[in-house]
Amino acid sequence: MRTLLAAAVAGLFGASPATAAVIDFNAIAGPTFPSPVIEDGFTLTSSGPVFIHGVMTGSSAFIAGAISSSVSLEITRAALFTLDQLVIGRHSSPQDSFAPVGPVTVAGFSGATLLATDVFAIPFGLFTTHVSSNLSGVGVDRLVVSFTSSSLVVQGVDDLVLSNFVPAPEPASAALLLAGVLGLVGRRRG
């Protein structure tokens, strides 16, 4: 009975573990991105020319927006997932390290419906971890990462942390479940 009660309470408060996958591009040989690619159960597709590079982030592989003004990376999976965090940055030659560059935009979709968007500013010459704010906890089946690179500066993304989406229970359903569990506990003791 205690096991049943513990399981019910854990389920009630969404305590089921959400497993995370890290899309790190390390299994891609490069130097070009062979679109589409399957990594950790996700399908990765590029809308334009991109390349794999390992120097920028210190990892063995990296995907960057190529010398094009609009390149996007699409990440899809049949089961819903959320974006927790990602590493983004820019790479340029030393003389162009302060050239202006637009943000990296990550849009989350369910089917064709846009659910939320995160926009990340790129620090000069650094690759840093950014935590998702608008997409965190939102169940999507497709993410589109859009780069705004130029001929002088390329943008990149690495180590995308994607978790299985665990929906929070509806308050009325949670209350009914709790009442049922308490009724079972009371009946057993009575």
pLDDT by residue (tens digit) across 96-116? 555 556 788 999 999 999 999
pLDDT-derived band at 58 (thresholds 50, 70, 90) equals low
Average pLDDT of the residues in 47-71: 60
> Which tokens go with 48?
């334009």
User: Pick the residue with more confidence: 17 or 169?
Assistant: 169
Other beta carbons less than 10 A from residue 89's beta carbon: 24
pLDDT digits (tens, 9 = 90+) for 30-55: 777 788 989 999 999 988 777 766 65
> Which tokens go with 107?
């849009």
> Which parts of the chain are beta strand (E)?
20-23, 37-39, 42-46, 50-52, 63-65, 71-92, 104-110, 113-120, 127-131, 140-147, 153-164
Please name which of 107, 113, 110, 168 lies closest in space to residue 135, comparing C-alpha atoms: 107
Residue 129 lies in a domain: yes
Residue 43 lies in a domain: yes
CATH number at residue 149: 2.60.120.260
Residue 189 lies in a domain: no
Residue 96 lies in a domain: yes
Q: What is the pLDDT of residue 167?
A: 78
Residue 11 lies in a domain: no
Whether 178 and 12 have beta carbons less than 8 Å apart is answered as: yes
Query: What is the model's pTM?
Result: 0.74
How far apart are the C-alpha atoms of 78 and 141, rounded to whole Å?
6
Residue 3 lies in a domain: no
Strand partners, 81: 140, 164
Count of structural domains, the chain: 1
How far apart are the C-alpha atoms of 144 and 76, rounded to whole Å?
9
Domain with 85, as residue range(s), is 17-174
